[in-house]
Structure 1
Amino acid sequence: MSFFRRSRNNDPSIADPNYRSGPPTTKPSWFASIKDDVCAALLEYAGTTFFLLLAYGGVQASSTEAATSAQPSNIERVMYISLSFGFSLLASVWLFYRVTGGLFNPDVSLALLLTGVIGPVRFVLYCIAQLLGGITAAAIIYALTPGPLASNTYLAPGVNRAQGVFIEMFITSALVLAILMLAAEKHNATPFAPVGIGLTLFVCHLWAVYYTGAGMNTARSFGPAVVTGFPYDSQWIYWLGPFLGSLLGSGFYTILKHIKYWRFNPGQDTVDFRESPGDPMNNVKDAVRRSISSASRSGRSRSRSQGGPDGDAAPYREKNVPPHERSAATGMHNGDVAPDGVRPNDSPV
């Protein structure tokens, strides 16, 4: 997939190893790569159909099993649906993201347009392809499986429309941010971006499947609605909510890029083992040695301060002579006593 309005800056003084967005020297025409854009859109249609075919199939199987089971479990159904969408996206993105980027979602396409990854022509073609892929996948599941199509998204009882819009907004923003940070940003973990993206979709479904059906993709909600004749009047929620989520996710990503987020935790994606932390026990040993050394220096300093200016010689100073011994011990008269009161040859001990 060609990148629009992106160029590599080889200046070694730039800390950011990623591509830098900015106007190129000569602005290319929007239709300069129209053939590549059309081919990519056709492949995006195939990838979206593949992704939603697997996901809708899981939902259909879960609904059919719940209708025929004597003791259906809503929790197991939510888990089944979440795993169907999460793992379907993981597998589909891993297959297609080196071909078309593996977007499968008009709201993700909008985020990539806003951040300069794709151009407007490819954005329009991708959106058309993704919406058609959703319709095709829903039609195939409707034709191949018994019972009514169970993949429509609608609000649960007790959830008002404003709540539905904001739930869809937040889960879509999480998906958009995961795609931008894991796939659009180039780093050592980029080859494994499909895993993180699929897990993000899985976690978002765990929250929102019960409340809104976890649309977070206009093509995903639009396809079953077209096939079943728009049975719910809440279809606009699954256009507005993901649209706002795309704006929120791409806006947050733009802020991260503007403040140069990689400066706050440099080298986090390195594979050089020498960047790993040292042995924690060595840190403990060093701290103990420093404590012992500090205590030893403190003890010697205290001894010197108690002994006076002579230091270690202080204990061996001559003893003072008591007043009543001065005359007899020295053989001097009272006027001849040594002025300092010390016996001339007295032992230091």
Structure 2
Amino acid sequence: MKLTSITLRLVKAPLKRPFTTHLETVTEREVIVVEARDQDGGIGYGEAVPFSSPWYTEETVKTCFHMLEDFLIPKTLAFDLTHPNQLAGLWSGIRRNAMAKSALEQAIWDLYAKQEGIYLGKLFGGERTEVDAGVVVASDHIEDALRQIEEGLAVGYRRYKIKINPANDTEYLTQIRRAYPDIPLMVDANSAYSLSDVPHLQKLDDFQLMMIEQPLGHDDIVEHAILQKQLRTPICLDESINSYHDAKSALMLKSCGVITIKMAKVGGWSQAVKIHDLCVEQDIPLWCGGMIEFGISRAHNLALATLKGFTIPGDISSSSRYWEHDIIEPEVIVKNGVIKVPDKPGIGFGIREKRLDELTSYRIVYK
């Protein structure tokens, strides 16, 4: 699969509504779109989804662009690549920088699947023809949170995730359970608690939650194991899972009962599938996480979620939840709580070139 060029684009658009956690409020999203082109003019697409500041991970849009431009792309174009499986070894001397690696790997896997004439998910054994969709509710105001849940119910989302912190958790959950006693509900703490909060966290057991996502430190595995022993509600690890090794260590320590895989955060398709296979082997429920992304990353996540281990609805919402107009066609649509999986080669979606150009602030081609 001879690569002839790789293009980077900085793409930016405002969100339709602010996305608020105790760490940050996001009103505008900037990403890097990666295009890998072959000798026949075929193009594969990936999306780097760090934030503009390092509030979620240490990677940012600027650091990611730097790693792609100065290290990953030169190594890749100088190598006689025959299969995407070679990328992990090729990049082994570059530590971490998972989101940069994921974006370029996504583009090359998409290109390879198009060359093979197969839907990307099927390359890795994905069999689902539709994927259950969950939605994230992130707001500073309970009235707005309740309104977002009501909007989600109208679409039929199969799972609802509420952003919480120690200042609002029991109030939010009490009001939500009063209004919606039976909805599939989970919470995401984004590392807002510590082990000193165990008595407080134990109160959340009364709300019949599917899971509590990342209650403790963003890089912790050990303390989560201590906490999990004291809760009835399963802990889900997200920020702590940045590699196969992290997932393996967390399962060895019994730090969680659920894992979410964010392809961008673990370094791309190869690592994501290895973690998936490990969790299937150990009977650990999985769901696919999201990063407030545009349609290219969303399409890759949808393909990943077709694998059999993803038994819990993931954070794969409709394109229209965040964007007036997405950069893919057709847009991702949730109907009656599910997303139909495309059957076209690669990611299965086309690119709205005009829309992509409108949102592109900078573009550079490497040959």
Range into which the TM-score falls when normalised by the shorter chain: under 0.3
Work out which of the two has the higher radius of gyration on C-alpha atoms and give 1 or 2.
1
| TM-score calculated relative to the size of structure 2 | 0.20
| TM-score calculated relative to the size of structure 1 | 0.21
Higher relative contact order (CA 8 A, sep 6+): 2
Structure with the larger helix share: 1
